[in-house]
Chains A and B, each alone.
Chain A
Amino acid sequence: MTCSIFLQNKYVMYQDKMFKLSDKILLLCVGEAGDTVQFAEYIQKNIQLYKMRNGYELSPTAAANFTRKNLADYLRSRTPYHVNLLLAGFDETDGPGLYFMDYLSALAKAPFAAHGYGAYLTLSILDRYYRPDLTRDEAVELLKKCIEELNKRLIINLPSFSVRLIDKDGIHDLEKLVPVGAK
């Protein structure tokens, strides 16, 4: 789930922050304006190039490590990318996987993750209610709990959230979540 709001010079524009790396891998990219799109598209095209050259797709683990390596390479150059990433994917052998990466090119596999000020508010809700065997409806309910909390406590108004689900059949768009009372 990412909020599809993007602040441009203090005014609100709508932008999709999820980038499809392959049929079963999504990259969520937030951070400095410009850097996000440039870096995410660079990773996206390179993953697709790998598929064209070798005939098979990178697994989510490999894609996450490739992304982290690129972030690390640029970190100590004069032009580091200031982006925070979540990479979500489904592997045939390993099952679903979520990878948390930050702008210092740290990489961690996690059952749930969040970036930004919203993370301070939502991580404890996820700690409390997350179970590995949640059903799809229960997972969406958990997301709704997080969004209600953001709606209540976060100073920035986030009117709409786009939700996507990745399973063995690929990436599915779920219904957009709109917190009650938000415009």
Chain B
Amino acid sequence: CRERRELPCRSSSFETPIKYGRFYCNFIILSQPCPIQFVLSFPPGFPPSCSPSVPLPFTMSHGTTTLAFIFQGGVIAAADTRSSCNGLVACPASQKILPVHSHLVGTTSGTSADCALWKRILARELRLYQLRHGRRLSTAGAAKLLAHMLHPFKGTELCVAATLCGWDGGERPSLYYVCSDGTRLQGELFSVGSGSPYAYSVLDGGVRWGLTVEEATSLARQAVYRATHRDAYSGNCVDVYHITSKGWARRDREDQLQPRFQKSWEAV
């Protein structure tokens, strides 16, 4: 595992009882792999890690479509609900958009166990920050925190690609993409996963600042639908979350095989 010298990434008043990086790396590598691993996406031919080899039970493969964009009404985050596992649909009703706190939501792509774990760690760290400093950390700060927490695991098989969608301090929405290879980018439109090129092409033609909330949600659903149509590893239902100054709100999960939904899509 990585034995990088400790980078000064947190101030001394921000100590947490669990040390990251070296300690956590040992813990994760030495634990036995589960017989079935629910995987959202994993690039084939991933570079081999430097850890003592834990043999993978099967080759991993990609499998998700998530997207998020900013418009005048806030932030829309949408994702499909299929968890795939090398050609098998392990779970047709998984949740790929996880709320972190009342004004921050994260879409997840990568290994679903890694994403769920790190989202919970992020939620814990943000809550601790809020209790210690009396104010909520901004989305930029949350993204930076997550990026610094994931950096010690670079080169291992950890795979997390998340977009953090949040509303900062009652002022404006913001959107950050954080990846376990260390990337951290701010933007107004992101799509992540194997179905992302299909979603990008639909979104690039339709996303404008002046969309109404209904137009934005239907555009997000359409983009995920088109991606699931073309991508084998995305499918089943669509989850949509809408983040405003009042917090996040979850739309009903819509099954894409419903004729009502298909008709409204084909009519466009």
Contacts and interface: CB of A to CB of B under 8 A. Distances in A.
Interface of A: 6, 8-9, 11, 13-15, 32-35, 37-38, 42, 45, 74, 77-79
B185 A8 contact: yes
Contact of A35 (B50, B177, B182, B187): B182
A77 B7 CA distance: 14
Classify the secondary structure of B's interface with A: loop
Nearest to B193: A9
Q: Which size class do B's interface residues fall under?
A: 20 to 34
B3 A78 contact: yes
Contacts of B200: 11
Contacts of B155: 79
A40 to B, nearest CB: 12
Contacts of B181: 32-34
Residue among B147, B151, B183, B185 with most chain A CB within 10 A? B183
B184 interface: yes
Interface in B113-170: 147, 151, 154-155
B226 interface: no
B259 interface: no
A34 B147 CA distance: 9
Contacts of A37: 147, 182-184
A42 B7 contact: yes
Contacts of B185: 6, 8, 13, 15
Nearest to A13: B185
A143 B28 CA distance: 50
Residue among B2, B4, B155, B197 with most chain A CB within 10 A? B4
Contacts of A13: 177, 185, 187
Contacts of B183: 8, 33-34, 37
Interface in B187-213: 187, 196-197, 200
